[in-house]
Protein backbone atom coordinates (compact mmCIF):
# COMPACT_ATOMS: atom_id res chain seq x y z
CA UNK A 1 0.00 0.00 0.00
CA UNK A 2 1.39 3.41 -0.97
CA UNK A 3 1.78 6.29 1.46
CA UNK A 4 -1.10 8.10 -0.27
CA UNK A 5 -3.32 5.02 0.11
CA UNK A 6 -2.40 4.71 3.80
CA UNK A 7 -3.15 8.39 4.39
CA UNK A 8 -6.49 8.08 2.60
CA UNK A 9 -7.38 4.98 4.66
CA UNK A 10 -6.32 6.74 7.87
CA UNK A 11 -8.60 9.70 7.05
CA UNK A 12 -11.45 7.30 6.24
CA UNK A 13 -10.93 5.47 9.54
CA UNK A 14 -10.82 8.74 11.52
CA UNK A 15 -13.90 10.02 9.69
CA UNK A 16 -15.88 6.88 10.54
CA UNK A 17 -14.68 6.90 14.17
CA UNK A 18 -15.64 10.57 14.61
CA UNK A 19 -19.10 10.00 13.09
CA UNK A 20 -19.78 7.04 15.39
CA UNK A 21 -18.51 8.81 18.53
CA UNK A 22 -20.49 11.94 17.63
CA UNK A 23 -23.71 9.99 17.07
CA UNK A 24 -23.27 8.18 20.39
CA UNK A 25 -22.57 11.47 22.20
CA UNK A 26 -25.57 13.28 20.68
CA UNK A 27 -27.92 10.38 21.36
CA UNK A 28 -26.96 10.38 25.06
CA UNK A 29 -26.86 14.19 25.25
CA UNK A 30 -30.44 14.68 24.05
CA UNK A 31 -31.65 12.88 27.18
CA UNK A 32 -29.97 15.46 29.44
CA UNK A 33 -32.26 17.87 31.26
CA UNK A 34 -32.83 21.11 29.37
CA UNK A 35 -31.29 19.96 26.08
CA UNK A 36 -33.43 20.88 23.06
CA UNK A 37 -33.03 18.82 19.89
CA UNK A 38 -33.87 20.37 16.53
CA UNK A 39 -35.02 18.49 13.44
CA UNK A 40 -31.68 19.23 11.76
CA UNK A 41 -29.80 17.31 14.47
CA UNK A 42 -28.53 20.42 16.26
CA UNK A 43 -28.98 20.48 20.01
CA UNK A 44 -28.74 23.35 22.46
CA UNK A 45 -28.91 24.06 26.18
CA UNK A 46 -29.91 27.51 27.42
CA UNK A 47 -27.42 28.73 30.03
CA UNK A 48 -28.78 32.27 30.24
CA UNK A 49 -31.85 33.48 28.38
CA UNK A 50 -32.49 37.11 27.53
CA UNK A 51 -35.32 39.03 25.92
CA UNK A 52 -33.35 40.99 23.31
CA UNK A 53 -33.73 41.02 19.54
CA UNK A 54 -33.04 37.90 17.48
CA UNK A 55 -30.86 38.00 14.35
CA UNK A 56 -31.79 36.90 10.86
CA UNK A 57 -29.44 34.84 8.69
CA UNK A 58 -28.30 37.93 6.79
CA UNK A 59 -27.40 39.97 9.90
CA UNK A 60 -23.91 40.52 11.22
CA UNK A 61 -23.62 39.39 14.84
CA UNK A 62 -21.08 39.89 17.61
CA UNK A 63 -20.47 36.92 19.89
CA UNK A 64 -18.19 35.53 22.50
CA UNK A 65 -17.71 31.80 22.04
CA UNK A 66 -15.70 28.84 23.27
CA UNK A 67 -15.45 25.79 21.00
CA UNK A 68 -14.54 22.25 22.03
CA UNK A 69 -14.60 18.74 20.70
CA UNK A 70 -16.77 16.19 22.53
CA UNK A 71 -13.63 15.05 24.42
CA UNK A 72 -13.19 18.57 25.83
CA UNK A 73 -10.29 19.66 23.59
CA UNK A 74 -10.53 23.42 22.99
CA UNK A 75 -10.08 24.32 19.31
CA UNK A 76 -11.07 28.00 19.31
CA UNK A 77 -12.16 30.57 21.87
CA UNK A 78 -12.86 34.28 21.56
CA UNK A 79 -13.24 34.17 25.35
CA UNK A 80 -9.61 33.05 25.77
CA UNK A 81 -8.46 35.72 23.29
CA UNK A 82 -10.49 38.34 25.21
CA UNK A 83 -11.93 39.65 21.94
CA UNK A 84 -15.50 38.99 20.74
CA UNK A 85 -15.96 38.02 17.08
CA UNK A 86 -18.20 39.77 14.55
CA UNK A 87 -19.31 37.99 11.38
CA UNK A 88 -22.20 37.66 8.94
CA UNK A 89 -24.43 34.91 10.29
CA UNK A 90 -24.83 33.31 6.86
CA UNK A 91 -21.04 33.01 6.43
CA UNK A 92 -20.37 30.57 9.28
CA UNK A 93 -21.07 26.87 9.78
CA UNK A 94 -24.68 25.77 9.20
CA UNK A 95 -25.31 24.95 12.86
CA UNK A 96 -24.44 28.48 13.94
CA UNK A 97 -26.59 30.03 11.22
CA UNK A 98 -29.54 27.89 12.33
CA UNK A 99 -29.29 28.10 16.11
CA UNK A 100 -28.16 31.70 16.57
CA UNK A 101 -31.34 32.87 14.81
CA UNK A 102 -33.21 31.38 17.79
CA UNK A 103 -31.12 33.29 20.35
CA UNK A 104 -31.87 36.73 21.76
CA UNK A 105 -29.17 39.33 22.28
CA UNK A 106 -27.79 38.81 25.79
CA UNK A 107 -28.42 35.05 25.77
CA UNK A 108 -25.75 32.42 26.35
CA UNK A 109 -26.34 28.91 25.00
CA UNK A 110 -24.34 25.72 24.63
CA UNK A 111 -24.63 24.30 21.10
CA UNK A 112 -24.02 20.65 20.21
CA UNK A 113 -23.52 20.32 16.46
CA UNK A 114 -23.26 17.11 14.46
CA UNK A 115 -20.63 17.06 11.73
CA UNK A 116 -23.05 17.85 8.90
CA UNK A 117 -23.88 21.17 10.61
CA UNK A 118 -20.20 21.93 11.31
CA UNK A 119 -17.33 21.14 8.92
CA UNK A 120 -18.59 17.83 7.52
CA UNK A 121 -15.92 15.45 6.28
CA UNK A 122 -13.26 18.17 6.01
CA UNK A 123 -10.16 17.94 8.20
CA UNK A 124 -9.96 21.66 9.03
CA UNK A 125 -7.29 21.79 11.72
CA UNK A 126 -5.05 19.68 13.92
CA UNK A 127 -7.92 19.48 16.42
CA UNK A 128 -10.97 19.27 14.13
CA UNK A 129 -10.81 16.07 12.14
CA UNK A 130 -13.25 14.87 9.51
CA UNK A 131 -16.85 14.42 10.71
CA UNK A 132 -16.22 15.94 14.13
CA UNK A 133 -19.16 16.78 16.41
CA UNK A 134 -18.55 20.21 17.94
CA UNK A 135 -19.67 21.96 21.12
CA UNK A 136 -19.81 25.74 21.40
CA UNK A 137 -20.72 27.95 24.30
CA UNK A 138 -22.02 31.10 22.60
CA UNK A 139 -23.03 34.45 24.08
CA UNK A 140 -24.85 36.66 21.58
CA UNK A 141 -23.61 40.17 22.38
CA UNK A 142 -25.19 42.14 19.58
CA UNK A 143 -26.66 42.43 16.10
CA UNK A 144 -24.75 44.90 13.93
Concerning whether 143 is annotated as a catalytic residue, the answer is no
DSSP 8-state symbol, 24 = H
Active-site pick, 46, 70, 93, 143: 93
Helix (H, G, I), strand (E, B) or coil at 8: helix
Concerning whether 76 is annotated as a catalytic residue, the answer is yes
d(C-alpha 54, C-alpha 59), whole Å: 10
Concerning whether 44 is annotated as a catalytic residue, the answer is no
Active-site pick, 65, 112, 128, 135: 65
Q: Using CA of residue 105, residue 109, residue 48, residue 65, what is the dihedral sign?
A: negative
d(C-alpha 61, C-alpha 87), whole Å: 6
Concerning whether 112 is annotated as a catalytic residue, the answer is no
Active-site pick, 59, 75, 121, 143: 75
Active-site pick, 25, 44, 112, 119: 119
Among residues 139, 3, 143, 144, the alpha carbon closest in space to that of 67 is found at 139
Catalytic residues: 65, 75-76, 93, 119, 136
Amino acid sequence: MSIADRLFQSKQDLSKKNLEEGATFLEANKANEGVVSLESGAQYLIINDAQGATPSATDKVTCHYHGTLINGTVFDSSVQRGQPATFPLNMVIKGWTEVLQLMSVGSKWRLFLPAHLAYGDRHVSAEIGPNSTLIFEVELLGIN
